[in-house]
Amino acid sequence: MKYSNLNYLKNLNKNQIKSVINLDGPCLIIAGAGSGKTRVLTTRVAHIIKEKKAWPNQILCVTFTNKAAREMQVRVSKLLYKQATAIPWLGTFHSISAKILRRHAATVSLNSNFTIIDRDDQLRLIKNICKANDIDIKKLSPQFIITIIDKWKNKGLFPNNVIIKKGEIWEKGILNVYKIYQEKILALNACDFGDLILHCVSIFEKEQDILNIYSNNFKYILVDEYQDTNFIQSKWLNLLSKKHKNICCVGDDDQSIYSWRGAEIKNFLSFDQIYKNSKKIKLEQNYRSTQNILSTASGLISKNLGRLGKKLWTKGEDGELIKLSCYKNGRDEAINISDIIEKKLKKNFSYNNIAILVRAIFQTREFEERFLKIGVGYRIVGGTKFYERAEIKDLVAYLRIVFQKKDDLAFERIVNTPKRSVGETTMKQINEYARKHKLCLEDASLKMIEMNKLKPKAKIGLLRILGLITKWRKNLLLKKYVELIQIILDESGYSEMLRNRKDAESEGRLENIKELLRGMKEFENLESFLEHVALATSIDDDWKGEKINLMTMHAAKGLEFDVVFLPGWEEGLFPHQKSLEEKGDVALEEERRLAYVGITRAKKQVYISFSMNRFYQGNWIENLSSRFIEELPEENVEQDSVTENRIDDFEFNQDLSYKEEIRSPGWLRLQKKLNEKK
């Protein structure tokens, strides 16, 4: 072989070598989970330089995260040891776009020293625009406006390009805000992250000379995680690759799980239409997992129609079968999984190499409660521990001030949440008065209202919340404290505040609140519950020693563990009913890809489980196992005898004792199937 003298090719398999040395023309590398895509990308960069196909500054290498960019830079340098040099155009879409934009800022009416604003800056600017234009942020939240603006920018649309469809008249108000917003950030000599790419594309399309500079310079373009690109990113790449056409994109269509962030899988599936005369190379040999894990994942994902297709395999051992378990409820599931971890796995695996991957973040609560009880360390990866989430802390603060009048910290947290015109200036006045007269903040507020020392709006807002607190304390004597929190949610305006935001984050917060209500029912009174929360949040975040990893399946992408637990595989929860209602079969395929990602995070063992009933969306739901369980290859799955018996009983003979019994979407689906057979 021509390249046999190159040491960096020696440890690559046949298709990896093919991916490295085929440099000319468009190429799509379909890289399965654990198939060594990063090694291929970095070796390809090193090969281009070693073979003198291009200088380092003539290579454009694009990643999605700074971490991935740094890792690639280090790996390339190691491969080039004697010729070690920086790759100046290696970075994220945003960092490279910012670099280009600063050179040509005047073309889009910016100065080269423009500021890049973050999410908080965006939010503050949108709020100011809404205020100046009498837009009620309770009906149209700034968070939701930003989400829609980001969606338009991902599709390559400036305000004058947006077309409002007949059924989406509500977007007209947001479009007006978008126009003002864009004018404001230009006036501020600023860009948001969406602008960085959007402005670059605009420059490339309008200024052919500028486009020629970069398309001529970049002899080779390499793209990581191509399945996660959106419309404007794909267009950006297409423009830059027009001259030499040596673009190599690496990714896995079976791991495309970010459509909610604007990712368009059709970029991946239509690669040969976007780039004519392209090559496709499949990386199917896996270096991470056992064959049983790979066969299970491959069997499941094969049910998707929108994919290019591949089958993962390994030279390693078959390994253990996938374990499938059925539990009575979510609490039973958490207890049993923690027992398996403690009794069986701790002997052979460290906690650091064990992960519990959930579909929705609210599912972590029962596991957190269990680990706190038995003294096992855990970390929430890519998220916040349950009792430290903002919405949970807010509601606990409401309960604390009802329970204890002198809890000034709780008072400060809730007095202007939701907004009641009690701003920082007002609270500063109240704090000073309280210190001077040795009063708690609640009493100080009342005194200042009596003496008419506060502004009218602040006075009205304070009177409102103080009146409610007094009322809630009376309710506490008459009602169960769990009922009280439901009253607080309604009367404080907190539930309404979250509902009006209309974004995915707020939906998750509402789910967390419902899970909080579920957890509260386990405590006899408010005092014991508040004590539990205090102890739970006092645990040192940085416990020494090993910790179990808790995270969503979305957050787990790119990670790997020896043992993976996948709880909550029930219809309605996974696949998620809301996703199915909004996007139908498209969403179902993405949910299945998410299941594939979850399974392929494991190296050695996978445990899948579901519960016969679960407290979800504020109700006890009688569940049906996820359709994904039915799609798992039987020869790769092992059910314990308890689970086999439960499944039979589970599907056809459920008799719940819960008063709030309702049927899940999955149960209704099953009944429909049974009726059709009759």
Supply the residues annotated as catalytic.
Answer: 37-38, 224-225, 255, 601
Q: Any long-range contacts for 638-642 (C-beta under 8 Å, 24+ apart)? A: 638/320, 638/321, 638/322, 638/323, 638/324, 639/324, 639/325, 640/323, 640/324, 640/325, 642/325, 642/326
For residues 271 and 25, the answer to whether their CB atoms sit within 8 Å is no
Helix pair 142-154, 193-206: axis angle to 10 deg: 30
Nearest to 261 by CA among 593, 504, 584: 504
For residues 622 and 612, the answer to whether their CB atoms sit within 8 Å is yes
Beta bridge partners, 61, equal: 90, 222
DSSP track, 358-393: ESSGGGHHHHHHHHHHHT--EEETTS--GGGSHHHH
| Residue recorded with tokens 């040596």 | 246
- Residues with Cβ within 8 Å of residue 622, at least 6 apart in sequence: 612, 613, 654, 656, 661, 662, 663, 664, 667
Beta bridge partners, 616, equal: 619
Amino acid at the residue 225: E
Angle 33-258-325 from CA coordinates, rounded to 5°: 60
Amino acid at the residue 536: A
For residues 254 and 596, the answer to whether their CB atoms sit within 8 Å is yes
For residues 212 and 189, the answer to whether their CB atoms sit within 8 Å is no
- Annotate 37-95 with three-state secondary structure: HHHHHHHHHHHHHHCCCCCHHHEEEEECCHHHHHHHHHHHHHHCHHHCCCCCCEEEHHH
Nearest to 310 by CA among 15, 38, 635, 31: 31
DSSP track, 391-440: HHHHHHHHHHHHH-TT-HHHHHHHTTSS--S--HHHHHHHHHHHHHHT--
115-116/190-191 β-pairing: parallel
Cis-peptide into 575, omega within 30 deg: yes
- Residues with Cβ within 8 Å of residue 130, at least 6 apart in sequence: 136, 137, 140, 142, 145, 177
DSSP track, 124-189: HHHHHHHHHTT--TTTS-HHHHHHHHHHHHHTT--GGG----GGGTTHHHHHHHHHHHHHHHHHTT
Q: How many CB atoms lie within 10 A of CB 389?
A: 22
What is the distance in angstroms between the CA of the first residue and the CA of the last residue of the chain? Answer: 65
> What is the rounded distance in angstroms from the CA atom of residue 134 to the CA atom of residue 128?
10
> What is the rounded distance in angstroms from the CA atom of residue 77 to the CA atom of residue 91?
15
> What is the rounded distance in angstroms from the CA atom of residue 21 to the CA atom of residue 312?
22
Nearest to 133 by CA among 194, 175, 189: 175
Angle 393-394-397 from CA coordinates, rounded to 5°: 85
> What is the rounded distance in angstroms from the CA atom of residue 434 to the CA atom of residue 614?
46
What is the three-class DSSP state of 566? strand
Q: In degrees rounded to 5, what are phi and psi of residue 169?
A: -60, -30
